[in-house]
Every structure is written in C-alpha cells, then in structure tokens.
Structure 1
Amino acid sequence: MFGVVRPCRHGMCGSLFKDWMAHLCGLCLTLRTEHGQAARMVTNYDGLLVSVLVEAQSADRSPRRKAGPCALRGLRAAEVVDARAEGARLAAAVSLLLAAGKIRDHVADRDGVYARRLVAAAAGRVADRWDAAGGRTSAATGFDPAVLRDVVDRQSALESAPGRSLLELTAPTEDAVAAAFAHTAVLAGKPHNAETLAEAGRYFGRIAHLIDAVEDLAEDRATGAYNPLLATGVDLDEARRHCDAALHGLRLAVADLDLESRRLIKALLDREMRRSVHHVFAEAANGPGPYPPGPQPPHPHQPDSRPPHRRPPRPGLPALCLAWTVVGCTCGLWQPDWSEHHGGDCGDRCWCSRHCDCCDCCDCCDCCSCDC
C-alpha cells in the first residue's frame, strides 16, 4: 500500500479510525471481487479518498456490509464499504491506474531492479493488466481513465524539457487528482461540489508530488536520478512553503464543500495531510530536532528528540520477490524491515501519539480534526 495519508488509531478518534478502515478494507475487497486476489496489492491509501468523498457527500451512495476475519484487522470481522458502492469502485479504478503508471515510470527510469530486462518485461505485463482492469472499472463509473493514463506521458515530456518551474512539474499530478475528486460529486449526486473538489484535488496532488520528491531526494541525489527539486534548484525551505500554501488552500476548499458529514474528510485532508508534510520534511531535514524549516504544528508539549528511523537497504532480487509474496499473502500485515511501512511502534511514525492522548481516549467530537 502506498500514499501520503496514512492515519493510525493513535492519531484519530475511535469512530473516525473505524470509518477510515471501513473504506480501506472496502477498497481492498472491491479490488478482490472485481479483479482477483492479486489486485489487492495495489490498495492505495490516497486512492480510497474518493470513496470517503462520495460517502461524505451522500451516505446512501456508500452502502456497507459485514466482512469476515482478515489478517490486516487481526483476524477480526468488520463493517466495510460494499463493492457495489460507486465510490469504492472508483477508488479501485484509481488505485489500479496509479499502480500501472507507477510501475511504468519505474521501468522507464530503470529504477533499481527494474533496470533488469526480465524484471522490466514482467512488470510491464503486470502494468498492462492493471491498466486494462482500471480502465474497465473507471468506464463503468463514468470516469475517463485517460486523465490518469496521461500523467506519466505528460510528466515525462515536462521532465525532458529544460527550464520548467516546480509548479509546472507538479501540474500533471494536480490535474489527475482534481479530475478524480471532481467525479465524486457526480457519483454522489452533488454536481455543484465539482469545482471546489477539483480545487481541493489540485492542492492535494501538489502536496503528494512534493512529498514524493522530498522522500526520494537523498536517493535521487546519490544515484543521479531525476528529481523535480534538484532539476529546478528548489531547496527544502521553498518546497515547504509550497506545501504550506497548498495545505492552506486545501483546508479552505474542504470548508466550502457541501457535505452531509465532514468529520472524516476534515481529519484526513486537514490534520493527516499536515502531519504527513511535517513528517517527511522532518526526516529530510535530519537536523537536531524533529521540526524542519516552515511553520511548526502548534502544540504546547515538548517535541520528541529521537532521531528519524533509519531503514536498512533493500535486498537483492530473490529476497525482494519472496518479500513481495509474503506481503501479498498477509494483506500487508507483515512488512520487511526495509519497507517504508515498517519500523518501531506507532509512536515512531505518529506525531499525535507522542504529544497528546486525547485522540486515544475519546470517541466524540472533532478533536482529531483540530489541534487537540
């Protein structure tokens, strides 16, 4: 699973985390129902936001059902969004198309194991299958898959042209997310939300692109791979300012939406996005304290001074293939120690769990959507 919005139970009120898990498990099971067991590997944290947006605008468009035990839930049953829900189906299509595009991008850049001819060929075939499956599902929901398919081509064209600004390089991602967010208004029967959702999507896409660039900055600098920050000469301070401006715009756009229920949307697109930005810049800065340049999260408690968690390097191809197999068979419950989703307890990754405990003991108001 990949994405920038990765909440945990320590950073959310219980009911909100339960609702988020209902969408996450619903997306995973929708992928299995419509595209087979292997498709569950593309479950995307950010892709499921479209399912959340549909339900937030119109709860009756997002039916739920009881699901059986799953390893990812500690072998417990749970209420999940049904595969019949249009939001879950759109989320599945987005996840498949994004995964296909990500694989093709790795193949084109000859990243890591993708530089090997046999691996690249096999990955290309997988990407083709996922792309075709995502296209079928997106067409069934009325969403044009070309918007997401064109992202890689547009991105490659921009990266090959010199003199582009940072915001020009983030534009393809912004447009793709804007289109997906706006389509949730159609599925929810609230077309008047489309323009505001498109604006929110552009801000979200900009932040996601910048976070990805900051996360890869050290590795790309070492290997000589393309990175938009290196290509444009933008430093971490300026990148953080772009993220902070986009966070502000995203918050205003969410506030303008006509929603039946906004608690989960506000928690994910406001608090969790701010936390993600803070976390990735803190690791990139690698200074004596956890706060990078830019506005600090307002909180009265002393920040944790533990150094960022360091992951060991990835292994060779045989061990990598075995690890992927185990991750898929356990629905992501097990993660290798070099994975970005592995490492320490939740407190090593969650700012809230180290600085306040209100979200761990209440199941009530909007405390997890503000600076509790």
Structure 2
Amino acid sequence: MFGYVTVCEPELKVKDLKKYRAYYCGLCRTLKEDYGFMGQMTLTYDMTFAVILLSSLYETIAKHEERRCKVHPVKRQHMLRNEITSYAAAMNVLLAYYHMEDDWQDDHKVSSLMTKSLIQGKAKKIIEKYPRQSKVIQQSLRELGECERENSMDIDRAAGCFGRLMAELFVWKEDIWEKTLRKMGFYLGKFIYLMDAYEDLPEDRKKNRYNPLKELAKRSDYEVQMEQILRMMIAESTVRFEQLPCLVDVDILRNILYDGVWNHYNKIQMKKREEKNDDKKSI
C-alpha cells in the first residue's frame, strides 16, 4: 500500500534530488542499524517524506555521512539522519509488525507469522516507547480488516482507516502543529489507500479479492469520479501543508505533494491508453 508518496524526478533540481536520496539512504541505514535486515526490508518512500516534512517543520538539523552499503558497495553514498529518522524507522517497523500480525490472524499465512516473529522483540520495544501511535495503528488496521471481511463498499470508511493511521504517524510531538499535521496526514493517507485500490482493481477482480472500488467502477463515469476523488484528497492535504511554516527543503516537499504523488496514476493512464490503441489496431 505504500510507495506512492515519492518525488517526480524530472521536475526536481539536481541538488534537491541528491538531498532527497540522502534522506532515503539515511532512513535505510537507520533501519539496518536499529532493526537489522528485516527492519531494512520495511523501507518506504512514504516515511522518507515524513522525515523531510518533520525535519523541515521542527528545523531539526540532519547529520551528513558517507557510507557504503550492499546495494552500493563501490561508491560511498550520501546520508542524512537525525532523531526524526529514528522515529520514522520505528514507525516503519511497527507498521510491518501489525500488518504481519493481521495477515496471520486473518489468513494464517505462515510467511507472515515467520516475519512477525523475527521482528517481534524489536516491535515490543517500539510499542512501549510509542503507545499512542501503536494503539491507533493497531485499531486502524483491525477496522480495515473488518471492512474486508464484510466486503464493505463504503469507500470513505475503508479509506478513513488508513487516513487515521497516517494522521497518527505524522504527529511526532503533541504540540501546536498537531491538529494541522493530523489533517494533512489523514487526507494523504486516504489518497494513498484510494490510489492503491485504484491501481489494484483489475488484479483484485481477477483474483476475487476485496476492493472498495468495485461498485463505483461499474459506473460509466468511474474514471472521472476517481480522478475527482483523488484530487480532492490531495488538495485537502496540501492545504494543511501550506499552513505549516516549512522553509527548509520546501521545494522537495512541494514536488512530492503536487507532482510526485501522481507518478503511479500517470503510469496507469498511459498503460490504459496503450491498451486502448492496441485494441483498435486489432479490430
């Protein structure tokens, strides 16, 4: 479900792209150091965005490092890390842990049980340190599981579960920015969930899997409706973002929110146009 909140590289300055990658590599390194290989496997672009956003908002200085890794064994990679990077890494692992737990309880997937057991010790320490976030993540995923079991076509209900989850992750501190961050995270979370459902719909139909968009997709104006819904969600999120006093790395953040989040949508539309042209040629 993650991976939609990333940069639009062609529209980003070279120096900003290098800095974005440094934050990404910094989060990857922190996951490896704090949670091992399994923790590193939970790395997401979405939490990289959270690191940059919160670092900008709280003006938290990131330490610059140059290190080699298994992916880049020859050339040293630039890395940026601070205390918010550690927070984002913890949230990454916590999300993975509860996701594996739900998979095991709902479908009894052995792979999920094994993965869960490998990070269980680390996850329990995170739960003790971040009880507020832990509680909301668990509740949100549980309610989302209920939507799936009930085959609920209530789009707002299903997307709202993930919205509340993201809202809680964005609140690093309960302070004057809490309300704005919650709203921003809530609508961004709904956007992520709906974009994922939109992208997965053809495959979910084939495999008879749950997708809250199945009923809406029967309408002749489905594509128009989906674009409007997605634009509404990201518009609500960006309105809250602009209310935050973010100055550092604001060009990177705006690139992600105004362009990058549409990367997958644009690819889907391109694929649909190609398929339509192929169908015309075959007639």
**TM superposition score normalised by structure 2:** 0.84
**Cα distance change of structure 1 residues 306 and 137 upon mapping to structure 2, 3 Å threshold:** farther
Structure 1 residue 33, shift from structure 2 partner:
1.2
Amino acid at match of 2:232: A
Q: Which residue number in structure 2 is paired with residue 246 of structure 1?
A: 233
1:285-304 per-position Cα deviation (integer Å, ceiling 9, x unaligned): x13489xxxxxxxxxxxxxx
1:36-70 per-position Cα deviation (integer Å, ceiling 9, x unaligned): 233211111112222112211133x2431313123
Equivalent residues in 2 for 1:87-98, closer than 5 Å: 87-98=84-95
Contact 1:65 1:80 (8 Å CA) reproduced = yes
Contact 2:12 2:252 (8 Å CA) reproduced = no
Q: Which residue number in structure 2 is paired with residue 355 of structure 1?
A: none
**Cα distance change of structure 1 residues 131 and 91 upon mapping to structure 2, 3 Å threshold:** farther
Instruction: Supply the distance in 1 between the matched residues of 2:91 and 2:171 (Cα, whole angstroms).
Output: 13
Structure 1 residue 264 and structure 2 residue 226: aligned?
no
Instruction: Supply the distance in 2 between the matched residues of 1:148 and 1:3 (Cα, whole angstroms).
Output: 18
Structure 1 residue 159, shift from structure 2 partner:
2.9
Q: Which residue number in structure 2 is paired with residue 275 of structure 1?
A: 263
Q: What percentage of aligned pairs have identical amino acids?
A: 19
Q: Which residue number in structure 2 is paired with residue 57 of structure 1?
A: 57
Equivalent residues in 2 for 1:26-37, closer than 5 Å: 26-37=26-37
**Cα distance change of structure 1 residues 54 and 171 upon mapping to structure 2, 3 Å threshold:** same
Task: State the secondary structure of the residue aligned to 2:76.
Answer: strand
1:72-120 per-position Cα deviation (integer Å, ceiling 9, x unaligned): 45732233233xx22111211221122234434555665xxxxxx7xx2
**Cα distance change of structure 1 residues 74 and 146 upon mapping to structure 2, 3 Å threshold:** same
1:242-269 per-position Cα deviation (integer Å, ceiling 9, x unaligned): 1011121122111111223222221222
Q: Which residue number in structure 2 is paired with residue 212 of structure 1?
A: 196
Q: Which has the higher contact order (CA 8 A, sep 6+)?
A: 2
1:123-181 per-position Cα deviation (integer Å, ceiling 9, x unaligned): 21312443552452364467531211222211112233466521111111000101111
- RMSD over aligned Cα atoms: 3.0
Contact 1:66 1:77 (8 Å CA) reproduced = no
Structure 1 residue 208, shift from structure 2 partner:
0.6
**Cα distance change of structure 1 residues 212 and 105 upon mapping to structure 2, 3 Å threshold:** farther
- Unaligned stretches of 5+ residues in structure 1: 111-116, 291-304, 308-372
Q: Which residue number in structure 2 is paired with residue 17 of structure 1?
A: 17
Contact 1:25 1:81 (8 Å CA) reproduced = yes
Q: Which residue number in structure 2 is paired with residue 158 of structure 1?
A: 147
Structure 1 residue 182 and structure 2 residue 171: aligned?
yes
The aligned length equals 275
- Unaligned stretches of 5+ residues in structure 2: none
**Cα distance change of structure 1 residues 257 and 165 upon mapping to structure 2, 3 Å threshold:** same
Q: Which residue number in structure 2 is paired with residue 99 of structure 1?
A: 96
Name which of 108, 114, 121 aligns with 1:125: 114
Please state which structure has a larger fraction of its residues in helix: 2
